């Protein structure tokens, strides 16, 4: 019952928040904003509904996956409006979204491990600080508060630090003690942080470092990246939860 109410209010959200304007059939970036908006809503509903199909220890992970996509859905409604009405890059909305959703993804790493084994809390804090540094400097570079190249380098160092913590640090120590399905989920999520996340700095390079600011390719690349890194990321967790039930 409760989840039905949550879902109804989610589906009703666009009535209050949508600001679309006219979508031009040649505006591929605008169309990608629409596609990702719809996909985020669908993924949100899916993860919340699937909570009831998994065992207790996985439920919080699915809730967080739903929240990540729900927060993104909300911001996409506005980002889409900014793009369609002004043709400008919705940098502020983009970074507010990331500031909420990236730390939640770091919570996911901690949770899937904590559900099945003992894991040092320092894992979460290191990932959290790494994410903040990466995003704060990325924002300063994009908003023109700092020169784009040094901001980019510091952001990349923070990203590499997070990969290091996941691959060699507390994360690796904990995951070695878990079941096959958790190990698979952890490794796939780690690869998403490496390969899927690499799409973002690529967008930044195209948008801010290669001479002219091409806001079309920047937004197209960021939209694709969000699709992969929020929805696929949640699907990996959902799959691990389903497999874990079958083998248990």
Ligand X SMILES: *C/C=C(C)/C=C/C=C(C)/C=C/C1=C(C)CCCC1(C)C
Q: How far is the CB of 233 from ligand X (least distance, A)?
A: 8
Q: How far is the CB of 197 from ligand X (least distance, A)?
A: 4
- Which of 79/102 has CB closer to ligand X? 102
Hey, which residues between 165 and 184 contact ligand X (CB under 6 A)? Answer: none
Distance CA 204, CA 214 (A): 10
Which secondary structure element, helix H or strand E, spans residue 197, and what is its range? helix 197-204
Q: How far is the CB of 130 from ligand X (least distance, A)?
A: 10
**Rounded (10°) angle between helices 91-114 and 56-86:** 170
- Which of 74/204 has CB closer to ligand X? 204
- Judged by CB under 6 A, the number of residues near ligand X is 17
- Which of 47/159 has CB closer to ligand X? 159
110 binds ligand X (CB under 6 A): no
- Which of 4/198 has CB closer to ligand X? 198
229 binds ligand X (CB under 6 A): yes
Q: Token pair of 78, please?
A: 């506005």
Other CB atoms within 10 A of residue 166 CB: 24
Distance CA 189, CA 228 (A): 11
Hey, which residues between 188 and 217 contact ligand X (CB under 6 A)? Answer: 197, 200-201, 204
226 binds ligand X (CB under 6 A): yes
Phi, psi of 152 (to 5 degrees): -65, -45
74 binds ligand X (CB under 6 A): no
Q: Tell me which stretch binds ligand X (CB under 6 A): 24-32, 81-89, 95-103, 212-220.
A: 95-103
Distance CA 218, CA 210 (A): 11
Annotate each residue in 124-163 with x if it binds ligand X (CB under 6 A) or - if it does not, as one string: ----------xx--x-------------x--xx--x----
Distance CA 234, CA 229 (A): 8
What residues line the site for ligand X (CB under 6 A)? Answer: 98, 101-102, 134-135, 138, 152, 155-156, 159, 197, 200-201, 204, 226, 229-230
């Amino acid at each position: 019952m409760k989840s039905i109410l949550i879902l109804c209010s989610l589906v009703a959200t666009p009535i209050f928040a949508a600001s679309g304007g006219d979508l031009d059939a040649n505006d591929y970036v605008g169309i990608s904003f629409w596609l990702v908006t719809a996909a985020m809503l669908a993924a949100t509903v899916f993860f919340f509904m699937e909570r009831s199909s998994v065992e207790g220890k996985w439920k919080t992970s699915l809730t967080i996956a739903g929240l990540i996509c729900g927060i993104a859905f909300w911001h996409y409604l506005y980002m889409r409006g900014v793009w369609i009405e002004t043709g400008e890059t919705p940098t502020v909305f983009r970074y507010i979204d990331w500031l909420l959703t990236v730390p939640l993804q770091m919570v996911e790493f901690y949770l899937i491990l904590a559900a099945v084994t003992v894991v040092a809390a320092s894992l979460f804090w290191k990932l959290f600080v790494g994410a903040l540094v990466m995003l704060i400097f990325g924002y300063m570079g994009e908003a023109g508060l700092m020169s784009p190249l040094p901001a980019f380098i510091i952001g990349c160092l923070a990203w590499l630090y997070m990969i290091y913590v996941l691959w060699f640090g507390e994360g690796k120590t904990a995951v070695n003690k878990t079941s096959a399905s958790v190990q698979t989920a952890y490794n796939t999520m780690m690869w998403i942080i490496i390969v899927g996340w690499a799409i973002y700095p690529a967008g930044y390079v195209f948008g801010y470092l290669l001479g002219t600011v091409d806001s079309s390719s920047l937004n197209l690349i960021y939209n694709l990246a969000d699709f992969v890194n929020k929805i696929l990321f949640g699907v990996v967790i959902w799959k691990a939860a389903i497999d874990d039930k079958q083998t248990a």
